[in-house]
Amino acid sequence: MAEQSQQTQSSMAGLLLHLECQSCGARLVLEPALRTTRCPYCAAPAVVERPPVPGVPEPVFALGFALTHTAAQEHVARWLRSRSRFTRSGIRSAAPGEVRGVYVPAYLYSVLAQARYRASIGENYQETETYAVTDEDGKTHLRTRTVTRVEWRPLEGELASYVADVLVTASKGLENAELEALEPFDLRGLARYTPALISGWVAEEPSLTLARCQAQARSEAVDRVRGLLSRFMPGDSHKDLVHQSRLDWEALDVCLLPVWVLAVKYAEDAPPLRVLVNGQTGAVHGKAPISPWKVLAAVVTLLAVLAMGGWFMGGGR
């Protein structure tokens, strides 16, 4: 353990600059030439130099950038332009010039899950049913029809499955939901991490605790097992599926993911809008806030149009 943390310190410290955003908590690692005063995640001008944090786990894998800066700018510009016209002012016209590439830390998790499950399995069967109808003259006739019914039977069992490639964020600057929105990454492109790989880029060190990331990864793995079990159930339908999974052979490695980040500061009174681009596939994610005033104005206009229409129709008589 002592050996490992020493190694971490030496290879991460080196000639690199360690910065921390006092607004979102992102811990950046970069070459002195890339020194920045604004946080690439949240655009806060609160980035300060900090001593290297001891014991930070070293990246094991990294996925390189496949999308160029220009292509990322184009993706963001297209995305900004295509926002709804109810989006707050300044967003659709924001210049995507300050798109920055960041190697975001995530944990790559895999596990062997042994699930014990219990469920009710439904088998459909057809039955002929007799029913009565009364005609116009008040006479009653008996008719038959075919109906589908379900017979339920209990099922119990075990299913072992290997769950791989679960990615969870290790960054305070980028939430897990945001990472999920950028997925999938094509993990066939994973390479062993070397400092040379991130040379010229801003990287972030894991800033979330290992315990927290591990809990998140386990919960995602169990969710996947649930989905797998659900698809695995025999019969025509099933209900009351419950399962308990034992997790063995866990692997949890820090992996750096290529993400282009644009923090758009469009108003003084609002937090910046963050637009993210998957640096491998070009998928864009962001949540452009809607302007309540624009929506209100549109509703008022619509009501006015409807009222005018009503007035004209009423006046035509």
Binding residues for Zn ion, per CB under 5 A?
Answer: 21, 23-24, 26, 39, 41-42, 44
**How many angstroms separate the CA atoms of 169 and 287, rounded?**
18
Closest CB to Zn ion among residues 24, 91: 24
For Zn ion, which is the closer residue by CB, 42 or 233?
A: 42
* Distance from C-alpha of 83 to C-alpha of 96, rounded to nearest angstrom: 14
**Minimum distance from residue 24 beta carbon to Zn ion (Å):** 3
Q: Please, what is the minimum distance in Å from the beta carbon of residue 26 to Zn ion?
A: 5
Q: How far is the CB of 268 from Zn ion (least distance, A)?
A: 17
| Of 57, 49, 6, 23, the residue nearest 205 (C-alpha) | 57
Identity of the residue numbered 176: N
* Closest distance of CB 41 from Zn ion, Å: 4
Residue whose structure tokens are 């949540």? 287
Least CB distance to Zn ion at residue 25 (A): 7
Min dist. Cβ of residue 107 to Zn ion (A) = 20
Beta strand 237-264 with 61-62: parallel, antiparallel or unpaired? parallel
| Residue placing its CB nearer to Zn ion in the complex, 99 or 197 | 99
Eight-class DSSP state of 270 = S
- In one-letter notation, the amino acid at residue 191 is A
Closest CA to 245 of 155, 160, 168: 160
Q: Cβ contacts of residue 170 below 8 Å, gap of 6+?
A: 105, 106, 107, 206, 207, 208, 213, 254
Residue 47: C-alpha distances to residues 96, 105, 234 (Å): 21, 18, 56
Cβ nearer to Zn ion, comparing 45 with 184? 45
- Pick 42 or 197: Cβ nearer Zn ion: 42
Task: Considering the complex, state which of residue 16 and residue 44 has its C-beta at the smaller distance from Zn ion.
Answer: 44
